[in-house]
Structure 1
Amino acid sequence: MLDLQFICDNADLIEKNCQSRGVTCDIPRLIELRKKRSELIVAGDDLRRQQKETAAKIPKATSEERPSLIEFGKQLKSQVADNESTLKEIETDLNAELSRLPNLTHPDAPIGGEEDAVVLRTWGKVPEFDFEPKDHVELMSDLDMVDFESGAKVAGSGFYFLKNEAVLLELAMVQFAIEKVRAAGFDLYTTPDLARQEVLEGTGYQPRGPETQIYSIENSDLSLIATAEIPLGGMLKDQILDESSLPMRVAGLSHCFRTEAGGHGKASKGIYRVHQFTKVEMFGFTTPDLEASNEFHQLIVGIEEEIFQALEIPYQVIDTPTGDLGGPAYRKFDLEAWMPGRGESGEYGEVTSASNCTDFQARRLGIRCRNNEEKGTKFVHTLNGTAIAVTRAMIALIENHQQADGSIRIPEALRKWVGMDVIPAKS
């Protein structure tokens, strides 16, 4: 959430920012709602002052004066109630308008949609096979590593069972990512798979409504989390931190649940776009200055790159365009791994993202910090990034390390957990 005074003082900037991010906004209405709210607050304070003065006069009034004072007090009470009711409606509308506004945007972020993404760098050599490569669906089916039919039978389309060596691979990737982030100084958590609506909204997710990607629990204010970013950000809700304790590095292991509404098509094949997966997520709280949060942002991206380099998977790092940033992100970098089975002859597919959300989430969640040398408090900056999202990383690993006989070579970094160098082909 942006600061309301900043919005009113920089209306043209906010409108231009919304336009570049493809977000519909109504800044004049927001400013008018703010004006009405201020007027109602002033009027309400005046009515309550009159109430207090009238109540003080009644005990001292004569018998002739008292009835009219009592009647006037009743009128004031009714007017106060009407004022408070109207103020509540205005504040609801004002907060709704505020919640639609995205974060500000880094000046270097590319303007446009997905096709305008800028490739910052690439790593690794795209494999050249001397045989016809298979996609992950065929490979995993041949090796008895996945069961889509049982997944659909139990939970519906978009769910699946990982089997045999795929289970070992999942555990290995989680262990490797956990080891990596712990070595980088992140405190480890397993998080709740559910979060309250106020926490989801605070982190920038909309758990209710026709366009949501969130599974909501009926007759409750709880929803299944789409990422550990949600509970990790929410765990410090309404807290004031000592600035000397920042930056804070936390990492969460969780299941992630997404409706993937509108996510059909070639990119949804197999386990690329599913309703549930396991992920290790990095999250950071920094002091409220861009130098600190930009530095943390680079740290997160660096860890993501180290993980995929260790997995020997070619990738590219992209600077995400404004139209794909989502509401909370000030700037976002994605890692896209090479997937030989994607498209006609292989394509890059997103496997991680890392976002600097500046104070956008902290303002909604009420997370502040205090410097003993200064008065008052400030909203911290928050950041998040994927250490490993198991299903997509598994696709890239299996497809890039497939061998002519249908076996899968295991990268050195995972062998101590998988317990083998190669997943052998089935006879």
Structure 2
Amino acid sequence: MIDLRLLRTDPERVRASQRARGEDPTLVDALLSADEARRAAVSRFDTLRNEQKLLGKQIPKAAGDDRAALLEQAKKLADDVKAAEAEQNEADAELKRLQLALSNVVVDGVPEGGEDDFVLLETVGTPRDFTAAGFEPRDHVELGKLLGAIDLERGAKVGGARQYYLTGVGALLEIALMNMAIAQAAKYGFIPMITPSLVKPEAMEGTGFLGQAAENVYHLAEDDMYLVGTSEVPLAAYHMDEILDADKLPLRYAGYSSCYRREAGSYGKDTRGIIRVHQFEKVEMFSYVAPEDAEAEHQRLLDWEKEFITALEIPFRVIDVAAGDLGSSAARKFDCEAWIPTQGKYREVTSTSNCTEFQARRLQIRMRDADGVKPVATLNGTLCAMPRMIVAILENHQNADGSVTVPAALRPYLGGREKLEPVAG
């Protein structure tokens, strides 16, 4: 949620952010009205409560008719205090409801528009010329069958659409990618973590995933628990309701987890293969920093993502995501998109978001420095989402005979294996 002081002092900035996102700017005015109503309700309750306290001191000193009159006044005042408290509670609830509905304020420079209105920041590497190599590239589904690495048919049989098995070298490839990602993260001071996949509602709501993203979240109604779509959720909630020592910031964690997404609204999209699936594994970077350090940390997270993809020798590009394509918590997001030869286009493989103080305010995560206590900033960045990275490796590094050359940086995590070979039968 945003700082109410920003809302009061610069509401037009918040309205402009809503318009840039393609969201309702009148929500800002509704929130301003709710804030004013709440402050009025608090003032009324405090005034009546003070009157009640003063009256309570007078009653023991009074006698006769004066005491009876004071007792009658106290009875009426108690009813007024009770009504004022109920009014304040209602005002608090309405203010919170509207605060939770308002997306984070985008930072200056974020492109306006929707999914196709991103700004290209850079392109790294050159897509491979398969014509010059003398063969037509196979897609990752065909390669996965040849290598005995991906079993989609049995995945669908057991789990339905968008489910799969990674088998043989496919499973080894995922484990290798996980180890390589964790090793890189640890090198830069991230604390490795294996995080819960099930979280309470306050963790999911606090990170902003029960708003516009709620349709893609799996909810276990009987237990009122949620399956996470990213370890960003448990990593953000790790310090929920805590005050952190500013001298120990930044705190950086690298979470390995299974991720679950309903993929609602994606009917007909990426139905072939493992580009868009219901369950996958991912290594996610997460940082807690002082608010003034957030933009610099965002650039560092992007640089670490670029380093990882570059080490895998995959051509990719970096885009500045438009405001209308940001999640509600992100004030800015950069995506790295890998070249997928058989699709002839770039596809997202990593993203990094600066969530400023938005999540920390919702989760009550603060820092204490010389100036007192204030919210921290939180940032996240995907280091490796396994299925899409496997797709990029298989398709970009394939050979005419169906084998796949293992990138040099990944070989130590695959027992020194230099090539994935087709299996017999």
TM-score scaled by length of structure 1: 0.93
Letter in 2 for 1:3: D
SS in 2 for 1:23: coil
SS in 2 for 1:131: coil
Moved more, 60-69 or 310-319: 60-69
What displacement does 1:65 show?
A: 4.5
Matched with 1:425 is 422
CA distance in 2, matches of 1:66, 1:150: 84
CA contact (8 A) 2:283 2:383 kept: yes
Matched with 2:260 is 257
CA distance in 2, matches of 1:302, 1:210: 27
CA contact (8 A) 1:288 1:378 kept: no
Matched with 2:121 is 120
Q: Does 1:399 align with 2:399?
A: no
Matched with 1:412 is 408
CA distance in 2, matches of 1:31, 1:298: 34
Q: Does 1:29 align with 2:13?
A: no
Matched with 2:54 is 53
Deviations 1:102-140 (A, max 9, x none): 222222221111211111111112012221212112221
Give the counterpart of 2:278 among 275, 278, 285: 275
CA contact (8 A) 2:254 2:286 kept: yes
Distance 1:151 1:77, change over 3 A: farther
Q: Does 1:141 align with 2:110?
A: no
Moved more, 378-387 or 103-112: 103-112
CA distance in 2, matches of 1:328, 1:297: 14
CA distance in 1, matches of 2:267, 2:59: 71
Distance 1:243 1:388, change over 3 A: same
SS in 2 for 1:216: strand
Letter in 1 for 2:6: F
What displacement does 1:99 show?
A: 1.6
CA contact (8 A) 2:316 2:337 kept: yes
CA distance in 2, matches of 1:395, 1:86: 56
SS in 2 for 1:226: coil
Show structure 1 runs of 4+ deviating over 6 A.
none
What displacement does 1:315 show?
A: 0.3
Aligned residues: 419
Distance 1:221 1:256, change over 3 A: same
What displacement does 1:15 show?
A: 0.8
Q: Does 1:387 align with 2:391?
A: no
CA distance in 1, matches of 2:194, 2:158: 25
Matched with 1:182 is 186
Matched with 2:236 is 233
Matched with 1:366 is 364
Pairing 1:191-230 to 2, within 5 Å after superposition: 191-206=195-210, 211-230=214-233
CA contact (8 A) 1:316 1:337 kept: yes
SS in 2 for 1:267: coil
Deviations 1:24-76 (A, max 9, x none): 24222211111111111111112222322333344344344445444433333
Distance 1:252 1:210, change over 3 A: closer
Q: Does 1:155 align with 2:159?
A: yes
CA contact (8 A) 2:41 2:91 kept: no
What displacement does 1:171 show?
A: 0.1
What displacement does 1:143 show?
A: 2.6
Distance 1:268 1:296, change over 3 A: farther
Moved more, 380-389 or 98-107: 98-107
Matched with 2:20 is 20
CA contact (8 A) 1:147 1:161 kept: yes
Pairing 1:51-130 to 2, within 5 Å after superposition: 51-129=52-130, 130=134
SS in 1 for 2:220: coil
CA distance in 1, matches of 2:302, 2:345: 21
Deviations 1:271-298 (A, max 9, x none): 1111111100111111221xx2222112
CA distance in 1, matches of 2:331, 2:125: 28
Which runs of 5 or more residues in structure 2 are unaligned? Answer: none
Distance 1:253 1:55, change over 3 A: same
What displacement does 1:78 show?
A: 2.7
Letter in 1 for 2:176: A
Letter in 1 for 2:195: T
CA distance in 1, matches of 2:72, 2:173: 77
What displacement does 1:148 show?
A: 2.5
Identity of aligned residues (%): 42
Pairing 1:312-351 to 2, within 5 Å after superposition: 312-342=313-343, 346-351=344-349
SS in 1 for 2:383: strand
Which runs of 5 or more residues in structure 1 are unaligned? Answer: none
Matched with 1:44 is 45
CA distance in 2, matches of 1:12, 1:296: 27
SS in 1 for 2:226: strand
Letter in 1 for 2:408: E
SS in 2 for 1:333: strand
Deviations 1:391-417 (A, max 9, x none): 110111111111111122211122233
CA contact (8 A) 1:284 1:384 kept: yes
CA contact (8 A) 1:37 1:87 kept: yes
